[in-house]
Amino acid sequence: MRVELDGTGLELDESYLDADEETIRAQVREYERGDRTAFDLSVAYPDSFTGRVMRAMSEIPYGETRTYGELAAALETSPVAVGQACGRNPVPLVVPCHRVVGADGSLVGFSGEGGVEQKRRLLAAEASGRQTELAAFE
């Protein structure tokens, strides 16, 4: 299903979410307004490496980031493999792949229509005006 977020489209594969379309859309709108910091949706994680990476991404708190390398170390794999799995995330935003950044804090890829610029907007919105965090994404 396609959802609109900050004027840009985002594809979510609702078959991975245990919720009806209206509930999913309502939670995305709440997130966009800043009224929601976590999605209350049950995710069916695949029984695969991508599923392991998705579970690790889902543990990254709102307003925080982790590097591909940090996730790779926790999963005993390579940062490149983590990046590839992030790109296969069927429910971006709900499973926050936008919170995964390069080793130097750089924004390297995002599967949403807006790409890195959309990722930048999501992280800036989550930073809630904390100037030190915002500066890292400029």
Q: Looking at the annotation, which residues are catalytic?
A: 97
State pTM to two decimals: 0.87
Quick one: pLDDT at residue 27?
A: 95
The CATH class for the domain spanning 2-135 reads mainly alpha
Lowest mean pLDDT among 6-15, 75-84, 96-105: 6-15
Summarize pLDDT for 6-48 with one digit per residue, the tens: 778 889 999 999 999 999 999 999 998 888 999 999 999 999 9
Quick check: 128 pLDDT over 90? no
pLDDT recorded at residue 134 = 39
Contact by Cβ (8 Å): 102, 71 = no
pLDDT of residue 24: 96
Q: Is the pLDDT of residue 133 over 70?
A: no
Burial 102-133 (b: 16+ CB within 10 A, else e): eeeeebbbbbbebeeebbbbbbbbbbeeeeeb
